[in-house]
Amino acid sequence: MRNFWIQLTCIVALPLTGWSQNITLESCLNQAVATNPLYRMQERLPVIEEAQAKQVTAMWLPSLKLGGQATWQSQVTSVPIEFPGINIPTPTKDQYRVTADVQQTIWDGGMIQAQEQLLKAQTAVQQQSLETQLYAIKEQVIQTYFNIRLAQDQLNLLQTQQQSIQGRLKQIHDLVNAQITSISDERQLEMKAEELALNILDARAQKQVALDALETLTGQHYDTTAVFEDYTMATADEAQHPMIALYARQTEATKAQETIILRQNRPQIGAFATAGYGRPGLNMLSNEFDTYAIVGARLTWDLSKFYNGTQKHALAVQRLQREQIQDQQDAWQKGQDVQMQREENALASAQRSRDSWDRRLALAQANRKDYEGRYDAGLVAYSELLDRITEEQTAEQMVTQARVRAQWQEARIAWLKGEL
């Protein structure tokens, strides 16, 4: 089901001719997972497990072996006593035999079932290990996505500011022609327009670099007109980080191995049958080729593990491995808590910066409007008005950066929690 949704998300995210792309962070993450070689490795694991499980369950099938033997021996069994009227033949020294042996397991002490459970546990560990590696790749996607978002929003803002400056430049040019204002005011605006044009080129280059990186990560081509949407932290049930699931799978694998160790001490019951043809058959005193058959049951029980301590030591190893896994999880969790605290502090700082720049932008806009009135009244020089315009544009750029960085921190926190 997980594979279906990832593939469906990728299909929906494909570009359509004549339509602009609206790209979300979640779609990029899903595409990065679906096109990664580790994901294909994950898809193969169930097939490998199924083949291995068939090998294990095949142990319930009867075992058939064919054999042949031709021998010559220097002495044979004979009766050195003669009985009147009785002829006891002496076996020949060359003997021949062809056999078919069949063995069938009746009860294996639960070993086959335990091996199947161990196989499932080991496959689950491999699956989850690949999942954690894929999850680490998402961090690169998140960083690249917000690099694009930052360049995209800055580019849109710069283009809007450029249009505003071009409009003012046209007005100033008309005023210069009418000899109402000096040409130095026009030159100052032209310098500002050149600065914005250079910043636009830089923003486009930064966006293209980030787009190329995202295409490498996701295997998806993104048009230059694609719109990368805002990220909104969703309110969802508490998710489990892939690393926690990995430690749980590793613990389950040690328990499955313990079951194998315990069941090795159980007796095993089987049936066997042998059919043969040879000289001699079962009658050792006959020199004729003959057929024969043997049918029976067999009980085997290895009692050595009860007194040589191998079971005790093997179980101790599994217990120690579980303790190692728990210690690894505790160490990871401590590092995770420290990083989470750091990211939450960074988010709070980004939100404060965003709110502060929102207020400063409002003040800069009011200041610019005030200076426009003063300039029209001839109370201030155009350079002073241009300073207020520059302050407003700088505040707009800082607001854009602060908003993107706040969303970036929200996405990082969601990733750390296992929600992305």
Tens of pLDDT, residue by residue over 9-57, are 444 444 444 455 789 999 999 999 999 999 999 999 999 999 999 999 8
The pLDDT value given to residue 287: 83
The pLDDT value given to residue 237: 64
Q: Which of 192-196, 283-287, 324-328 has the largest mean confidence?
A: 324-328
- Asked if 253 and 122 count as a contact pair (C-beta separation under 8 A), the reply is yes
CA 79 to chain centre: 78
- Asked if 6 and 33 count as a contact pair (C-beta separation under 8 A), the reply is yes
Q: Centre a 10 Å sphere on the Cβ of residue 116 and count the other Cβ atoms it contains.
A: 16
Structure tokens belonging to residue 344: 């939450």
Sign of CA dihedral 309, 312, 317, 320: negative
Of residues 46, 53, 64, 47, the one with CA closest to residue 112: 53
Sign of CA dihedral 286, 289, 290, 291: positive
Longest dimension (CA), the chain: 157
This model's pTM is above 0.85:
no
Residue 235 banded pLDDT, cuts 50, 70, 90 = low
> Is 410's pLDDT higher than 50?
yes
- Provide mean pLDDT across the span 115-131: 95
Reply yes or no on domain 2-34+108-266+301-417 having CATH 1.10.1840.10.
Answer: no
Of residues 232, 188, 226, the one with CA closest to residue 207: 226
The pLDDT value given to residue 171: 84
408 contact partners, CB below 8 Å, separation of at least 6 = 142, 146, 149, 231, 350
Structure tokens belonging to residue 361: 């932008």
Tens of pLDDT, residue by residue over 314-345, are 999 999 999 999 999 999 999 999 999 999 99
List the chain domain ranges: 2-34+108-266+301-417
Q: Beta-strand (E) ranges in 221-354? A: 227-228, 268-279, 290-300
Q: What is the mean pLDDT of the chain?
A: 88
Residue 92 banded pLDDT, cuts 50, 70, 90 = confident
- Provide mean pLDDT across the span 139-148: 95
The pLDDT value given to residue 9: 47
> Is 372's pLDDT higher than 90?
no
